[in-house]
Structure 1
Amino acid sequence: MAKMDKKPQEGKPANKKPAAQDVAAQLELKPGQSIELLKALHILTREGKLNQDSRRKLKQVYHLYQFIEPLLGELSKNEQAVTLADHGAGKSYLGFILYDLYFKALGRGKIYGIETRAPLVETSQKLAAELHFDRMEFLNMSVAESTRADFMPERFDVVTALHACDTATDDAIAFGIEKKAKAMVLVPCCQAEVAACLRQTKALSLTRTPLAELWRHPIHTREMGSQITNVLRCLYLEACGYQVTVTELVGWEHSMKNELIVARYTGHKKRASAERLRQLLAEFGLSGLAALRYPHLPAETPSTEQGAEAAVLEA
């Protein structure tokens, strides 16, 4: 009796791996982007499937890339080799995708991933070697330590920090200023330092000003601290010669930590921003943070009356 070929039953599709073009369309991949890299980063499973958490992370990285890519294009003109520091790199999703989409084809430039968790650094080093991403380097150190490391380049063109926690974003800004970065692209996360200061001085503030009602309740303290932190960061960047734009990274359904700060160096240091920063520190009882977080603020300008008195004394 002749054997009959087995066919898939109707209504039960064969278990096939998704075609590469289907996966690319589903993920909205850029031309030439490596699906194998996404699998190695565990954004995709071996079968090419994507879970919801990975989709959110990938969406954030893609949106951030859209802000960074024009800066890289501008800075890499005239055969310049752009250096980029990715602070709080974690699993280095951002660094690897930046390299895959931009640095690999460009043939020059280098990415440094800075991360405090040694196992993540080791994994990233191994993956970069396997993919022959030769112009990627991963360092097991804090952002603050990387600023002081004498083996690092004296200057960096771009500084990024995607969800670098609490004061790591401040450290990334300090790194950018020290390294004379031409651009910084920052997505802050878990800003706790200012909220802690507001808690300590809450009773005094409530007796001094009705504005303290804005952070009387614990949840408001946390949110107000986060808002003040980012406002102070923007003023500091402006005072240090950067033009600052603040916007959303992605829709709120993808991330609650969604504020994106893009700073481009112009050399125009705004004294008004420095003065506003000092006024806000005084208003919220945060003056103790000035030397620690804002060491590059321009010198305080004397008031009109003080200036007039100084002129009389000099005469």
Structure 2
Amino acid sequence: MAKHDKKGQGAANAGQAAKPAAQDIAAQLELKPGQSIALLKALHILTRDGKLNQDSRRKLKQVYHLYQFIEPILKELGADGHAVTLADHGAGKSYLGFILYDLYFKAQGLGRIYGIETRAPLVEASQKLAADLGFERMEFLNMSVAESTQADFMPERFDVVTALHACDTATDDAIAFGLEKKAKAMVLVPCCQAEVAACLRQTKALSLARTPLAELWRHPIHTREIGSQVTNVLRCLYLEASGYQVTVTELVGWEHSMKNELIVARYTGHKKRAAADRLQQLLAEFGLEALAQSRFKLPQHAVAPAALGEPAAAVAAENAA
């Protein structure tokens, strides 16, 4: 009998030892305070037994790092009880949207997230998960970013626009959406910028005859790289010319993702004339004038007639303002 009691006591002690270990899983995995472990399991970021593999750790680190930039914006915009609206473009499996809702929107009791994604199965899966978790103020729409801009059932204005690895021109469509909806902030992580590189390839021979700068994109691998770089520079100038203050930094360490550039734009209303002029200059220099009428179209009055002759000091002074 005594032996039986000891065994029973030992089993109880083992159970008590296991319980705190389960409670400490959030600390062990360095999860944000209030983060739902059930959500992370449903998103397959955590395994059923609460483990985190290397690929999932990388995804979670990216989303958490992005959250650090978005959270202060949400708090500022929602400080007076305003119900913040957020559009997440190219949502994919909606890792970002779900974690934003779980860590911020859920506790606020107001505000709404719209996830926009072209792949119907992912939209359906997100709709089901939101319903299962009781995330009532999340909506998922099966459409392209460009289509969402014209959708008449969408709110007239959005406070925040996000696009995490929205591929190629989807990032430009997200910017166009933000401008159309008068977004107060845009948080963008561009991906697979191919459009400008394609344009550079088409005009390569002419550019090589015109300027030695074309050596920067003569070889195919350089065309891809310089195309990606130029695309993001043009996007930043376009945002500045449209009244946004722009910050560019890296999302996470390069060991986690090669698509690593983070663009944060906050609306100030100050539309920089110098940024508009430099945008036109760069489009001309790289033979990309056609994009001035599509991706980077500005009001005629936004660009100085003699933009190409504007003194560099004047441009630098306004860009520093």
**Pairing of 1:255-274 with structure 2 (within 5 A):** 255-274=257-276
**Pairing of 1:296-315 with structure 2 (within 5 A):** 296-299=298-301, 300-303=303-306
2:98 corresponds in structure 1 to 96
RMSD: 2.1
Equivalent-residue separation in structure 2 for 1:71 and 1:251 (angstroms): 23
Equivalent-residue separation in structure 2 for 1:254 and 1:298 (angstroms): 42
Equivalent-residue separation in structure 2 for 1:233 and 1:112 (angstroms): 23
Equivalent-residue separation in structure 1 for 2:192 and 2:105 (angstroms): 30
Cα shift readout 1:20-66 (whole Å, capped 9, x = no counterpart):
34421232111111000000000011111111111100000000000
Q: CA deviation at 1:96?
A: 0.2
1:131 corresponds in structure 2 to 133
**What secondary structure, in the 3-state scheme, does the structure 1 residue paired with 2:155 have?**
coil
**What secondary structure, in the 3-state scheme, does the structure 2 residue paired with 1:79 have?**
coil
Judge conservation of contact 1:95–1:111 (CA < 8 Å) in 2.
yes
Uncovered stretches (5+) of structure 2, i.e. residues with no partner: 11-17, 310-321
Classify 1:83/1:163 alpha carbon distance in 2 versus 1 (closer, same or farther; 3 Å).
same
Equivalent-residue separation in structure 2 for 1:86 and 1:297 (angstroms): 27
**What secondary structure, in the 3-state scheme, does the structure 2 residue paired with 1:264 have?**
strand
Q: 2:43 is matched with which residue: 31, 36, 41? A: 41
Equivalent-residue separation in structure 2 for 1:244 and 1:297 (angstroms): 20
Q: Are residue 24 (structure 1) and residue 21 (structure 2) matched?
A: no
1:121 corresponds in structure 2 to 123
Equivalent-residue separation in structure 1 for 2:305 and 2:227 (angstroms): 29
**What secondary structure, in the 3-state scheme, does the structure 2 residue paired with 1:133 have?**
coil
Cα shift readout 1:75-116 (whole Å, capped 9, x = no counterpart):
001110000000000000000000000000011000000000
2:317 corresponds in structure 1 to none
Q: 2:222 is matched with which residue: 202, 220, 223? A: 220
Q: 2:290 is matched with which residue: 288, 291, 310? A: 288
Cα shift readout 1:219-268 (whole Å, capped 9, x = no counterpart):
11000000000000000000000000000011001111000000000000
Output the amino acid matched with 2:126.
S
2:166 corresponds in structure 1 to 164
* Sequence identity percentage: 84
Q: 2:58 is matched with which residue: 29, 35, 56? A: 56
Output the amino acid matched with 2:202.
Q
Classify 1:200/1:76 alpha carbon distance in 2 versus 1 (closer, same or farther; 3 Å).
same
Judge conservation of contact 1:240–1:297 (CA < 8 Å) in 2.
no
Classify 1:30/1:298 alpha carbon distance in 2 versus 1 (closer, same or farther; 3 Å).
farther
Equivalent-residue separation in structure 1 for 2:29 and 2:75 (angstroms): 24
Q: CA deviation at 1:207?
A: 1.2
Output the amino acid matched with 1:146.
S
Q: CA deviation at 1:295?
A: 2.4
Q: 2:109 is matched with which residue: 81, 84, 107? A: 107
Give TM-score scaled by structure 1 length. Answer: 0.90
**Pairing of 1:236-251 with structure 2 (within 5 A):** 236-251=238-253
Equivalent-residue separation in structure 1 for 2:115 and 2:131 (angstroms): 14
Give TM-score scaled by structure 2 length. Answer: 0.89
1:182 corresponds in structure 2 to 184
Equivalent-residue separation in structure 1 for 2:20 and 2:201 (angstroms): 53
2:74 corresponds in structure 1 to 72
**Higher helix proportion (structure 1 or 2):** 2
User: Which shows bigger deviation, 291-300 or 212-221?
Assistant: 291-300
Equivalent-residue separation in structure 2 for 1:245 and 1:298 (angstroms): 26
Work out the number of aligned pairs and report it.
298
Q: 2:145 is matched with which residue: 118, 143, 146? A: 143
Uncovered stretches (5+) of structure 1, i.e. residues with no partner: 9-15, 307-315
Equivalent-residue separation in structure 2 for 1:301 and 1:219 (angstroms): 35
**What secondary structure, in the 3-state scheme, does the structure 2 residue paired with 1:77 have?**
coil
1:312 corresponds in structure 2 to none
